[in-house]
Structure 1
């Protein structure tokens, strides 16, 4: 896997391009005008979207009818020398539709404990908790 990142102005605005050719704008969150997401926000987005893909795929195989899927991811950071890495993340999966809550919970368990490569990448350094709310 490989991505490319190119500076797009004279400040901190960056454009990241994946192998698919799709792009994401990244910027410094401390700027007066922010035109992209911060690198730390990207980490939260990565955890939320990776688990979303898993959960949706599992529920589709079980013929659950998802009419709305939203996810909220919050991260708690701490001071470490001159940086502020994540200490923990909490994910709230918000589902609507004709969905069995037990199946939704099992899908989330499988995602976070087995399939989601992004959250598994944080296993040894960031505590990730999650909850599922149906309808």
Structure 2
């Protein structure tokens, strides 16, 4: 896996391209000298957790022939200052599912994702606790 990064302006706006040619951007917040034209690197980390777990959960439920009509998630990261860095210490993910889905299968799919399959969450494990909850058809399960 390889990413190329190219500086776009004289500040902190960068273009990133993966090996398949997909393009995205990173910038810094205006209060930190950027122009806030794109998410920050740490926001992309949270997006990675959301996307990785979504792929896992949907894949698991599809294999179990569950009827998913909607999927969304919220990811909230709490950071802690350590020296000059501010790594995530806790990341809370709320998975919202809608459809004809067995609640036990929904809980199990999330558990498998966060405890076993989600490479992004597993990468963060040494420094951040990743917790999750599942809301199925507007009810926490």
Partner residue, 2:63 = 61
1: distance between equivalents of 2:45 and 2:36?
Answer: 18
Match of 2:93 in 1: 91
2:113 is equivalent to residue 111 of structure 1: yes
State the distance in 1 between where 2:56 and 2:20 align: 20
1:15, CA displacement in angstroms? 1.0
Gaps of 5+ in 1: none
Q: CA deviation at 1:33?
A: 3.6
1:15-66, Cα deviation, whole Å (9 max, x unpaired): 1111221111110023574111000001101111101000010011111111
Runs of at least 4 residues off by over 2 Å:
30-33
What is aligned with 2:5? 5
Equivalent residue for 2:132?
Answer: 130
Task: Classify the secondary structure of the residue corresponding to 1:60.
Answer: helix
Equivalent in 36, 41, 49 of residue 47 of structure 1 = 49
Q: TM-score, normalised by structure 2?
A: 0.91
Shift of 1:86: 0.7
RMSD: 1.1
Is structure 2 residue 27 aligned with structure 1 residue 27? yes
TM-score (norm 1): 0.95
Change over 3 Å in CA distance of 1:49–1:98 after alignment to 2: same
Q: Distance in 1 between matches of 2:100 and 2:74?
A: 21
SS at match of 2:106: helix
Runs of at least 5 residues in structure 2 that lack an aligned partner in the other structure:
none
